Structures are given as structure tokens and as C-alpha cells.
């Protein structure tokens, strides 16, 4: 009973202490708010009401009256950059860096924001210079990420490799897939310049970095073919099926051309038909169709398309079927069938695109790096219509 009495007596005491603490906090808050310029609340109100133009005008007035407000300089600079007014953002952050009394932490922040301004403005050389100075500071990770973006834009692949490895070593996650892509870019440059012997070691490093890199395997086969080793190229390209069966469509034409070159076209057709059975693809069907048409004739090509359309009914497949039918129909109905095919093609063309899984950017051709979001390996090697059916 004694415990209950003391417990009841403690309630008003705790309530009183809480009331006193709240009063102190409120007084402190009111005191701090009175020390802020009225324009600050005015600008904040404009921001909350989604009126950035008026907010900027209000903040500029505060900065004019009190140039020592570093936080407002940062806020204004960021607002300018987001609005695309990069010149004003640059001036704002450069003015901050000219202040001798600016604390070291805010100096680094101003440098980082200035680098972002240059990056947004497309002044990549100046942005790189700024971010390089920040690689040994608390802004190291952010700076290296920005440098990686810059090196990719400039297609400086060796520097991109070094930047990605530095980020990986700093504990920001595995970047092996990305690094392998950079080695592939270097190898492609060598292949374009007809130096396949220089591409080989780069592709070996890419595969050592990411053994599942279908792109590195495809390019490795290209390098072998360029050096006159067709059989070795065929064996290399066939390894793609073990890495990703859906990516075999990207190597299908190479395989068919290779088997025809060595005098074994039926072996190539059988292999591609097995791929088609495992991973239906309109692009793969096109390669097999043309090969069957050349080697086995119109009837066999027609049968192939009929069977595939029954298995995977798509508008793109119907277009291929009509193409096959035009080869066998009597001349008197060929014109009408051609008209129907043109109508189908008009609608099918909207579905024959590749779509980035990351940002949704659609393109007529396949990309290893998305032109929209610049992410790597985000395009499935299948058309949008096929993806919707398989979803």
C-alpha cells in the first residue's frame, strides 16, 4: 500500500518537471527563430508551396543583407543547379571558397558542390580537377563516384577501371561487372583498329574479373575470328549458352556465318534450333529462318515459322509468318497479302524495341550500356513484346 501511495505522488512531480522542460525548449526555439531573418521564413514558405523562383529571390535578399550566411549560399547554389542555372551556382560556390574565414569542413563541401556544378554544366575537365582534390578527404567516396561518371562520359576506360577498383576497395560494393565492361570497351577499340592480338589479353582480364560476361566471350570469339581461327571462334561463341541462354541471340548470326564458312551449315542450324527451343526470340528466329531458307528451301522455312508462331504467338512472329507466306502464295493474292503485312509491320515496329530494366528507356538496337541512365547490362536481349508475354 505504501508503494502505491508514493507512486501516485510521483505522477504530478514528473508532470511538473515535463512542463518546465517544455517551457524551456519553447523559449529557446522562439529565441532562435527571432534571430533568423524574416526572409528565411518567407523563402521557406515559397519552397513549401512549390514556388522556387520566389524562394530564390527571398534567399538572395538574405544573402545580400548578410553575406556571412554560408548555409544559405549552399542552399541557393543547389537550387540554381537543379534549375539548370549552372553559371549562377558556380559563382555562388566560388564566392564561398574565396572566404578566408570559412571552416575547413565547409570549404570541402563548397569544393564538392562546385565540382557538381561543373559536372552539370558539362565542364568535365574542371569537374575532374575539383574531384581529384577531394579523393583523400571525407568526401572521398562521393568524389570517386563523380570521377567514375566523368571517365565514362569521356570514354577514358583505363581511368574508369582504376576509379571503379578504388571504389570497390573502399567497401562500396562489388563492381566486377562494371569493370569487365570497361575492359570490353578497351578490347573493342583494339578490334576496330584491327589489333585482335591486343584485344585478347584485355578480354582474358575481363573474363577473369567477371566469368559470366557474355559480352567478353562474344568479343573473344570476334578476336579469334579476326586472327583466322574460325573453329576456335565457334567454340568460344558456344560458351555464351552456359553464361546466359538469352544472350545467344546476340551471337546467333556469328555462329551461322562461322558454320557456313567451315562447310557445316546443318550443324549450325541444329544448334540454333536448340537455342530457339530453349529461349524463344524473334531475332533468333530471323537468323534460323534465313539459314533454313537458304539450305533447306521455302517449305522448310515456312514450317519453321508456323511451328514457332504456334508455340509463341506474337505480332512480331505474325510478321515473320506473312513474310514466309509471301514466298509461296500465288501471284494473284501476293499484293493483298503484302498490304496486310505492311499493316502488321506498322504496329509490330512499336513492339520491336529493347527496354532498359533500370530506367525504361526504349531503343531499336541492343545496348550494353543504357543511353538513358548509363547503367550497364540493364537491357534484356529480347524485344518488349516478348518480355510482356513471358512476364
What's the confidence (pLDDT) of residue 293? 87
pLDDT tens digit string along 274-289? 998 888 888 888 899 8
Query: Burial of 16 by CB count in 10 Å (0-12 exposed, 13-18 middle, 19+ buried)?
Result: exposed
State the Rg of the chain over Cα. 32
Q: CB count, 10 Å around CB of 239? A: 15
Strand partners, 354: 363
pLDDT tens digit string along 100-145? 877 888 889 989 999 999 999 999 999 999 999 999 999 999 999 9
What's the confidence (pLDDT) of residue 31? 46
Q: Which positions make up the binding site for Fe cation?
A: 356, 359, 370, 373
**pLDDT above 90 coverage of the chain, percent:** 46
Check whether 41 has a pLDDT greater than 50: no
**If you average pLDDT over residues 203-228, what whole number do you get?**
97
What's the confidence (pLDDT) of residue 282? 82
What's the confidence (pLDDT) of residue 345? 65
Residue 6 binned pLDDT confidence (cut-offs 50, 70, 90)? very low
Residue 331 binned pLDDT confidence (cut-offs 50, 70, 90)? confident
Dist. CA 19–CA 297, nearest whole Å:
93
Check whether 266 has a pLDDT greater than 80: yes
Q: Which positions make up the binding site?
A: 356, 359, 370, 373
What's the confidence (pLDDT) of residue 143? 95
Q: Could you tell me which residue, 360 or 201, shows the higher pLDDT?
A: 201
Q: Could you tell me which residue, 301 or 72, shows the higher pLDDT?
A: 301
The runs of H, that is alpha helices, within 297-383 are 298-311, 315-326, 331-348
The answer to whether the beta carbons of residues 209 and 176 sit under 8 Å apart is yes
What's the confidence (pLDDT) of residue 28? 45
Half-sphere exposure of 374 (CA within 13 A, CB side): 9
The answer to whether the beta carbons of residues 127 and 118 sit under 8 Å apart is yes
Amino acid at each position: 500500500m505504501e508503494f502505491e501511495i508514493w507512486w501516485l505522488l510521483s505522477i504530478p512531480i514528473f508532470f511538473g518537471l515535463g512542463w518546465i522542460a517544455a517551457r524551456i525548449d519553447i523559449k529557446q526555439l522562439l529565441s532562435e527563430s527571432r534571430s533568423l531573418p524574416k526572409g528565411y521564413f518567407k523563402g521557406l514558405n515559397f519552397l513549401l508551396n512549390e514556388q522556387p523562383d520566389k524562394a530564390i529571390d527571398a534567399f538572395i535578399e538574405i544573402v545580400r543583407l548578410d553575406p556571412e550566411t554560408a548555409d544559405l549560399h549552399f542552399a541557393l547554389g543547389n537550387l540554381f543547379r537543379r534549375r539548370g542555372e549552372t553559371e549562377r551556382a558556380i559563382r555562388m560556390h566560388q564566392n564561398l571558397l574565396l572566404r578566408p574565414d570559412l571552416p575547413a569542413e565547409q570549404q570541402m563541401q563548397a569544393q564538392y558542390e562546385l565540382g557538381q556544378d561543373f559536372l552539370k554544366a558539362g565542364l568535365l575537365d574542371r569537374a575532374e580537377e575539383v574531384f581529384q582534390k577531394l579523393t583523400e578527404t571525407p568526401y572521398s567516396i562521393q568524389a570517386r563516384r563523380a570521377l567514375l561518371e566523368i571517365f565514362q562520359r569521356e570514354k577514358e576506360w583505363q581511368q574508369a577501371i582504376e576509379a571503379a577498383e578504388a571504389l570497390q576497395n573502399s567497401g562500396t560494393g562489388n563492381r566486377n561487372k562494371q569493370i569487365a565492361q570497361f575492359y570490353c570497351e578497351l578490347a573493342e577499340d583494339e578490334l576496330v583498329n584491327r589489333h585482335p592480338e591486343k584485344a585478347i589479353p584485355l578480354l582474358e582480364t575481363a573474363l577473369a574479373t567477371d566469368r559470366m560476361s557474355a559480352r567478353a566471350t562474344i568479343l573473344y570469339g570476334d578476336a579469334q575470328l579476326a586472327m583466322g581461327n574460325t573453329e576456335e571462334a565457334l567454340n568460344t561463341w558456344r560458351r555464351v549458352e552456359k553464361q546466359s541462354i538469352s544472350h545467344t541471340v546476340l551471337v546467333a548470326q556469328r555462329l551461322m556465318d562461322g558454320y557456313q564458312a567451315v562447310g557445316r551449315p546443318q550443324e549450325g542450324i541444329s544448334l540454333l534450333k536448340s537455342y530457339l527451343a530453349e529461349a524463344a526470340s524473334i531475332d533468333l528466329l530471323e537468323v534460323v529462318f534465313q539459314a533454313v531458307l537458304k539450305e533447306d528451301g521455302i517449305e522448310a522455312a515456312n514450317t519453321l515459322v508456323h511451328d514457332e508462331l504456334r508455340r509463341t504467338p506474337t505480332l512480331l512472329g505474325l510478321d515473320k509468318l506473312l513474310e514466309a507466306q509471301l514466298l509461296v502464295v500465288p501471284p494473284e493474292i501476293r499484293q493483298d497479302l503484302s498490304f496486310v503485312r505492311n499493316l502488321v509491320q506498322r504496329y509490330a515496329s512499336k513492339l520491336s524495341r529493347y527496354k532498359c530494366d533500370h530506367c525504361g528507356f526504349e531503343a531499336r538496337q541492343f545496348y550494353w550500356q543504357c543511353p538513358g541512365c548509363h547503367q550497364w547490362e540493364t537491357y534484356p536481349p529480347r524485344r518488349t513484346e516478348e518480355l510482356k508475354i513471358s512476364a
